[in-house]
Chain A
């Protein structure tokens, strides 16, 4: 471990690195910042010819109004449940399957993988109709589970884990474990999982956000009594005169929890990335 730390020190950050990374961070965050600016003014203030660049005081009153027109709290709770379940399922099942595709030899390995990647190449929008019919037949339409189940596993996740595992876990290591009499399960839990924690962490973050951002399918299957956050956002632009500042305030309210989760868990998750592969 210590040796790794000393080696890592060779990747010291120069001032130029800091400047570049800061630039990237500013560009990434600016629209979010501007959302805060828009959310903290009234509609009339925003329509001024030179738009304001600093936040103002109307943030909480706008959020209050937003909460009155849209079921944001319900949407937040549902989205947290949905995204967490999807993330848990995806990371778990895709790591299992990715391991099998990468390291285990079985009939149909390449064919199944090809089908997986093949499904990624066809846009899934048109599949919404048969999917809804299926959910309706099973009585799941309108329930949260109808949003969770279809993306509980993704071809993206399997492909991602497969690539990572094929790279991060050398065949020789697995071979020697087999020689030592380990079962496949033992190999998986003791060798593979620790080695792929960075990938699992990244997949978790990306899956969580992708599930959070999903609008079309939840809109089709859910009702506004039981919305996810993206569906709830739709009601923000309600009324004959949609107010941009209310829309922005509501959107902010629905995005902040994600940011908080990432800020708090970021240390944990990112720590997972930093730790990297276990030696030996």
Chain B
């Protein structure tokens, strides 16, 4: 056994030497500066819609599930561009994916031809890595590309000076409130569209419904109105003029109107005791979808798929979607696809990303039953009848296409900063303390600011 190990070790080091030698020789000759943007130059018309006519393998770095493979998009692309082979490179958790991507970006090597960019770290990419990604405002189809998307979705992936766009949108997360219509009825709450449109249009209205639910004598034992006050906070915080950053892009949590307003509503909800105090994404929260421990939660379209996965067939027809979102419109989640300049197949990668974001494919991603609810970032796709007219039997036959279209069209989002994810996580932690441990909002607020200081330095 020792000999085998030695032999492998020798082989590995030989490989290392040879590779290192080859790389250094190659490095001498080629130009590796990123300023010469070959994206525009390479995608000449003669290369065709696939970006190249040569047999090429494209690596696509993704996290969680984008659902491209499951929805047959890779197979479909093979028919459109037979010379392109696609290899997916998945990391399940987007946090791990981001660590890996940061490492790759820092070392300048190991990047895939296409890299997913999630809303959780798009701020950081814009602030620190915009120059390492192909700028979609300079590609040959730039104008056509931009026209496809919701303006707010396009802007979220654009630098503050408006000159650099790092990705084309895939799915996005306009959100409403999903609720258990059967539990509402049992507790004597209204479930008709007209009343809910009025009651759910403001956060105060939601809180009132919550108090009504809690006070009800007929509601199920042990059931609370909302899963966690974080459903409220995270939805409300981006509804102001500022979220976690000030105008110049610096983190400024204490003075933000969005934060202050959202904090006020969330702590009020906590003290009104309308929350089940569950840790979102934890095992108890997962079980609660079928057990009815909460009756409502913040619900982007992809959450509908999650609910169906957790509650199963037994939940069909019990859930419903609110016709409006409190506070107007709000977004949770969403991604883009970017092409690192380090990619050796830029024209082909650009062509792939443009194809994936086109109207037809984004409609496919929505209508496919195997993955839950990818709302298109492509506004033309969203206008397609199969999207805008969609209804859901699982969700009591509600006109989900109409509901979410309206919300997506109304969307206004302040810019996303590079520390947003961590800041929000720290605030969420403190809000959980307020709702489950009776911590006073003021000490929770100082604890949150203290934790945020650890992030921003």
A contacts B directly in the complex (CB < 8 Å)? yes
Interface residues of A (CB under 8 A from B): 43-44, 47, 49, 84-85, 87-89, 91-92, 128-129, 132-133, 136-143, 145, 148-149, 152, 219-220, 223-225, 234-244
Contact B91 A224 (CB under 8 A): yes
- Of B16, B64, B87, B309, the residue contacting A243 (CB under 8 A) is B309
Binary contact readout B295-323 vs A (1 if CB under 8 angstroms, 0 otherwise): 00000001001101110101000000000
Contacts of B64 in A (CB 8 A): 238, 240
Contacts of A85 in B (CB 8 A): 4-5, 8-9
Contacts of B380 in A (CB 8 A): none
Contact B20 A92 (CB under 8 A): no
- Contacts A235-B90, A239-B371 hold; do A92 and B312 have CB atoms under 8 A apart? no
Residue of A nearest to B100 (CB): A220
Stretch of B33-41, B104-112, B211-219 contacting A (4+ beta carbons < 8 Å):
B104-112
Contacts of A220 in B (CB 8 A): 99-100, 103
Asked whether B2 is an interface residue with its Cβ less than 8 Å from the other chain, the reply is yes
Contact A149 B12 (CB under 8 A): yes
Contacts of A142 in B (CB 8 A): 110
Contact A239 B99 (CB under 8 A): no
Binary contact readout B145-172 vs A (1 if CB under 8 angstroms, 0 otherwise): 0000000000000000000000000000
Contact B309 A145 (CB under 8 A): no
Q: Say what secondary structure dominates the interface of chain B.
A: helix
Binary contact readout B278-309 vs A (1 if CB under 8 angstroms, 0 otherwise): 00000100110011000000000010011011
| A-B contacts, 25 listed (Cβ < 8 Å) | A43-B312, A84-B4, A88-B2, A89-B6, A91-B1, A92-B2, A133-B107, A139-B16, A139-B19, A142-B110, A143-B15, A148-B12, A219-B91, A224-B88, A234-B90, A234-B93, A235-B92, A238-B90, A238-B92, A240-B65, A240-B302, A240-B306, A240-B371, A241-B310, A244-B286
Binary contact readout B76-92 vs A (1 if CB under 8 angstroms, 0 otherwise): 00000000000111111
- Contacts A138-B20, A223-B89 hold; do A241 and B110 have CB atoms under 8 A apart? no
Contacts of A242 in B (CB 8 A): 309
- Of A44, A89, A138, the residue contacting B19 (CB under 8 A) is A138
Asked whether B59 is an interface residue with its Cβ less than 8 Å from the other chain, the reply is yes
Asked whether B23 is an interface residue with its Cβ less than 8 Å from the other chain, the reply is yes
For the complex, what is the distance from the CA of A234 to the CA of B93, rounded to whole Å? 8
For the complex, what is the distance from the CA of A49 to the CA of B1, rounded to whole Å? 50
Contact B2 A239 (CB under 8 A): no
Contact B371 A225 (CB under 8 A): no
User: Closest CB of chain B to A119's CB: distance in Å?
Assistant: 20
Contact B16 A145 (CB under 8 A): yes
Residue of A nearest to B308 (CB): A241
- Contacts A145-B12, A149-B12, A225-B87 hold; do A239 and B65 have CB atoms under 8 A apart? yes
Contacts of A47 in B (CB 8 A): 287, 290-291
User: Closest CB of chain B to A6's CB: distance in Å?
Assistant: 33
User: Closest CB of chain B to A236's CB: distance in Å?
Assistant: 8
Interface residues of B (CB under 8 A from A): 1-2, 4-6, 8-9, 12, 15-16, 19-20, 22-23, 59, 64-65, 87-93, 96, 99-100, 103, 106-110, 112, 283, 286-287, 290-291, 302, 305-306, 308-310, 312, 314, 371-372
Given A137-B20, A138-B19, A224-B90, 12 further pairs, Cβ under 8 A: A44-B312, A87-B1, A91-B1, A128-B103, A129-B103, A132-B103, A133-B106, A133-B107, A138-B16, A235-B92, A238-B64, A238-B65
Residue of B nearest to A221 (CB): B110
- Contacts A139-B20, A139-B23, A145-B15 hold; do A237 and B92 have CB atoms under 8 A apart? yes
Contacts of B308 in A (CB 8 A): 241
- Of B22, B290, B309, the residue contacting A239 (CB under 8 A) is B309
Contact B109 A141 (CB under 8 A): yes
Contacts of A88 in B (CB 8 A): 1-2, 4-5, 8
The 6 closest A-B pairs by CB, nearest first: A241-B309, A88-B5, A139-B19, A234-B92, A145-B12, A92-B2
Contacts of A240 in B (CB 8 A): 64-65, 302, 305-306, 309, 371-372
Contacts of A223 in B (CB 8 A): 59, 89, 112
Residue of B nearest to A226 (CB): B89
User: Closest CB of chain A to B206's CB: distance in Å?
Assistant: 25
Contacts of A224 in B (CB 8 A): 88-91
Contact A219 B16 (CB under 8 A): no
Contacts of B5 in A (CB 8 A): 84-85, 87-89, 92
Contact A148 B8 (CB under 8 A): yes
- Of B59, B65, B107, B309, the residue contacting A132 (CB under 8 A) is B107
Residue of B nearest to A236 (CB): B92
- Of A87, A145, A234, the residue contacting B91 (CB under 8 A) is A234
Contacts of B89 in A (CB 8 A): 223-225
Contacts of A241 in B (CB 8 A): 305-306, 308-310, 372
Residue of A nearest to B12 (CB): A145
User: Closest CB of chain B to A51's CB: distance in Å?
Assistant: 11
Residue of A nearest to B307 (CB): A241
